[in-house]
Chain A
Amino acid sequence: MRTRLQTWSLLVGATAVLALPMPSWAQLTQSDLASRMGMESHIGKITGHAKDAKADYRRYCVGCHGELGDGNGENFPWVDPKPRDFQLGIFKCRSTPTGTLPTDKDLFDTIARGLDRSNMPQWSTFTKQERADLVAWIKHFSPRWANEKPGTPIQIPPEPDVTAERIKAGRDVYARVQCWKCHGVLGQANGPSAATLTDDLGRPIAAFNFTEGAKPKCGDTDRDIYRIFMTGLDGTPMPSFADNIKPDEAWDLVFYLRTLMSQNSKEKTMAKQLGLKPVDPNAPAGQQ
């Protein structure tokens, strides 16, 4: 008898648990989203309101990012890389540490800058207010913003002067933290791991090819590049190296990366004068 009661209790309990709505982002509905319509963004003195971005989102964004912001718009099958799933609340381009939410300003800047090597164009035609409204709209797709605060932006020390020693030191960092495994010894995105890379959703993803003249997705100033490898690109295999690289070394790495890029730069000129050789994956540590 006791055994039968326990069995029934177990069955009823399991049924009750299964009947509870599971908090899956994929099951978000319009009503869930409507409840977050009061979401705001704050960029400087501008306050963005999600409700004011509805028309702009529908006009410009919905074809890729979808009605529910899940990146499942009508263009999903045809574009590569795939549109961002806003419901996950995970973003590549941030000024905040890995795993944290980006600041409103990060999203604000991304909209205007666009994402090179993707279908996301530069939306610099919006007014600042419209962009701020769209930031609030993007935030309303994910419950993360209701429960978490954005991370604190990382500190970027002033950029030092470029020297030959710094470029060589940057090459050592490139070898030590094994950037070459994905990006290749010449920055051609052909390292031994390059072919196996996938994003967090299991979709194949390419490493950045420094040599083909493209711009890094999250900006192409020296500070942008510094920020990319110190915050990582969340959702991709590109990790944050904040725990592995000191700020001074990070600048060295920026200077070395400039030598790999096809664009002319003083770093490239100096590397040529130095006769700088690519990293040797087989060289003992510290003996590049």
Chain B
Amino acid sequence: MRMGMQSRIGGKSTRFQHFLAFALVLVFLILSGNQNANALPAFARKYGLRCSACHESWPMLNYFGQKFKDNGYQLMNDRDAPIWQNPGYWPVTFRITPIWHRVSTGKVLIDQYAGGVATGTAVQQRLETSGFDLSGLDFHTGGTLEKNISFYVLPSSDPTATFHFETVMGRLDNLFGTPWINIKFGRFELDNLLSEKRILTLTASGGIYQLYHFAPAGDNNLMGAIGQNQLGAELMGHSNDDRTRYSAALVSSSVGNVNLVTTSNAYTGYFTASQAFDTGRLGVDRIGGYAMVGQTSTYYRTSGGTLVPGSGIGNKGFHREGLVGQFYFGQHVDMQVVTQHGWDSAWLGQGYGNAINPSNGAPGGTPLPNNPPGTTLNPGSLAPTWNGVLVEPHYVYSPQLIFIGRYETIRMSRQSNGPSYGPTTIAPNGLEGPTPSNFGDTSTFTIGYRYNPFMTSRAGFAWHNEYNWLHVDGAAPDGTALNKSELLVGFDFDF
């Protein structure tokens, strides 16, 4: 294995390989910086409850808030229907976060100059960037259209005010008079108990759960991200007190993209079940599990040599499964745990699956591979697998001050380029020869706190401080580990 690694470092394709890996990491981090959290003073205003009633610290839900959400944004009393509201009531909340942040990336290839002329060489250097900045802007609007019929619409922008619909859904709740049958339809967040859309951290790397978006290096299955909002329908049910809950969603394998550009007739299922337990003074603790099983297209038909949007076939499978735990240790300390085992088809691991991506590969690099009939896999191709765990403890000093910690680690257990992959063979995904066993292994920790100087039922405001450190094996230009750190402070507010 070491020999193989040395030969790759010396090989011509090494630079491209690491550039690709690094580019993917960068693209991933940039994409993942989009924050869309659901903290709604509009709901607080409607019901006259403080943020803290539903949020451990907004936007993260507590048990009461989860029950409210599971009931279709209803408290299950006579005040739920909009007829009870002032006719002028308009359930809209916006959220934006002015920030100052500093990003330090350990190893970036920097072109060298002599006398104002490029020397043609590049040297690995640490790159630091800092300054004042903005998050994107979210407009949350949600509530009941009628008793047991609710909606949620979330137009969301990036920091340049380019909008998309992050969430658009209608809900029918308590069908046939039972809380066990509720249906939602549209674009929505998958039923993750530890919701990434309600994450308490804001940095590019720490503002997401890496576990929810992980894909092995070179793997082009973007559909396996359980943190991505998806288009589909979900059947969900729960007991009256929400102690027991389940959900089953069927979504298009379109990564939440509209117009069915990125797939054709491929679907993914997402299933969850959990049970909460009364643990006396400790609180209500919950354990559960989830599974995502689906297929995604690998072959996009062409017309005149151009990929036809929505023509994907050649579906290949993938799955994710894991356990979720929400453990409360009294009124001040809790710990959220998520595990994941992931598996992608060898085809996806070899880079097929995302040929229709408009950017289609790294700029200047090889286009992402399509999988037309007759394509064969290198005999050394394996279905990549990995395991990961996420642990997020909180210390809730009071509803107005929360300290946050998180550690995530993801370890590859099988690489897509197996040991028998030809030592000099370049895979469709750009990786050459057998891949080191730790290639793409990711670890990250985040610490921070959020202080809310006031707590009312009208608005949310938090002074936010956070530090994140990210480590990805093999992602540096020279094939070694890439480290990146971020520091962020900001005013996180919504109204």
Contacts and interface: CB of A to CB of B under 8 A. Distances in A.
Interface of A: 52, 55-56, 58-60, 62-64, 74-75, 78-79, 114-119, 121-130, 133, 214-215
Interface residues of B, number: 30
B279 A127 contact: yes
Contacts of A63: 48-50, 53, 456-457
A56 B331 contact: yes
B48 A55 contact: no
Given A60-B53, A78-B48, A79-B48, A122 B77 contact: yes
Contacts of A62: 50
A210 B17 CA distance: 74
Contact of B242 (A78, A116, A125): A125
Nearest to A115: B77
Interface of B: 47-50, 52-53, 63-64, 67, 75-79, 240-242, 278-284, 331-332, 398-399, 456-457
6 contacts: A55-B398, A62-B50, A75-B48, A124-B67, A125-B64, A125-B241
A64 B48 contact: yes
B63 A125 contact: yes
A127 B78 CA distance: 24
Nearest to B66: A125
A123 B75 CA distance: 10
A121 B47 contact: yes
Contacts of A126: 284
B280 to A, nearest CB: 4
Given A74-B456, A129-B280, A130-B281, A121 B77 contact: yes
A94 to B, nearest CB: 21
A121 B67 CA distance: 12
A121 B47 CA distance: 9
Q: Which 7 A-B pairs have CB atoms at the shortest separation, nearest pair first?
A: A55-B331, A121-B75, A63-B50, A75-B48, A129-B280, A124-B241, A127-B278
A56 B283 CA distance: 11
Contacts of A215: 78
A122 B77 CA distance: 8
A63 B283 CA distance: 22
Contacts of B282: 127
Contact of B399 (A52, A59, A118, A127): A59
A5 B129 CA distance: 87
A124 B240 contact: yes
A189 to B, nearest CB: 14
Contacts of B278: 127-129
Nearest to B276: A125
B52 A60 contact: yes
Nearest to B400: A58
Contact of B77 (A79, A114, A129): A114
B179 to A, nearest CB: 12
A52 B48 CA distance: 25
Nearest to A49: B281
Contacts of B279: 127
Contacts of B67: 124-125
A127 B331 contact: no
A75 B331 CA distance: 24
Given A121-B77, A125-B284, 5 more contacts: A115-B77, A124-B67, A124-B241, A126-B284, A127-B278
A54 to B, nearest CB: 9
Contacts of B457: 63, 74-75
A214 B78 contact: yes
A130 B281 CA distance: 6
A116 to B, nearest CB: 5
Given A55-B332, A63-B48, A116 B64 contact: no
Contact of A119 (B47, B242, B331, B332): B47
B93 to A, nearest CB: 17
B283 A60 contact: no
B25 to A, nearest CB: 39
B28 to A, nearest CB: 36
Contacts of B47: 119, 121
Contacts of B283: 127, 130
Contact of B284 (A75, A117, A127): A127
Contacts of A123: 64
A59 B78 contact: no
Contacts of A116: 77-78
Nearest to A52: B281
